[in-house]
Amino acid sequence: MDFDRADALNQAIRLLSLRHRARTAELLAPLGLHPGQEALLLELARTGPMIQAKLSEALGVERPSVTLMARKLEAAGHIRRAPAPGDQRATVVELTEDGRALAERVKRMWCALAEETVTGLPAATVAELPGLLGTLTGNVDAKRRRGDG
């Protein structure tokens, strides 16, 4: 691939990432949330209670980041954390009633953001996007894991 094409592609991905995160922050602020916290709530809504270390893996973020998010969400009453039965070193995280209600609001906001993001694209393109973006993510992850430079 020549530089001009590579630059256009990389710039488009970078700008989409930055602007999507900024728009996410705008939409989450009225809910009292920060980017990343919605992913934690949605994961718990999908899976139910989960060991915090597994939650970190599921979200693809470092454990200290999940610990910090969990502390803030717990202080706000959206989740509860408790020692895992049979392993006092592990912590189980689960949504509270308030957290479940907030997760439903986040789902509606998430749908609106997705609609906003793909406005003007043909339905067939929209249907292909998750697979295409997943492939791009997998390509970057594979190189990162191998340490290719």
Which of these, 133, 130, 116, lies nearest to 19 by C-alpha position? 116
- For residue 147, pLDDT over 90 is answered with no
| The model's pTM | 0.86
pLDDT at 27: 97
Structural domains present in the chain: 3-118 (1.10.10.10)
36 to 21, 25, 51, 123, 139: CA distances (angstroms): 9, 9, 18, 28, 22
Residues 6+ apart with CB under 8 A from 33: 41, 102, 106
Summarize pLDDT for 51-82 with one digit per residue, the tens: 999 999 999 999 999 999 999 999 999 999 99
The whole-angstrom separation of Cα 14 and Cα 85 is 43
Which helix (DSSP H) or strand (DSSP E) does residue 96 occupy? Answer: none
Percentage above 90 pLDDT, the chain: 87
Average pLDDT over residues 18-41: 96
Q: Tokens at residue 36, please?
A: 């990343």
User: Whole-number mean pLDDT of the chain?
Assistant: 93
Over the stretch 76-135, which tens digit does the pLDDT of each residue have?
A: 999 999 998 888 788 999 999 999 999 999 999 999 999 999 999 999 999 999 999 999
At 141 the pLDDT is: 84
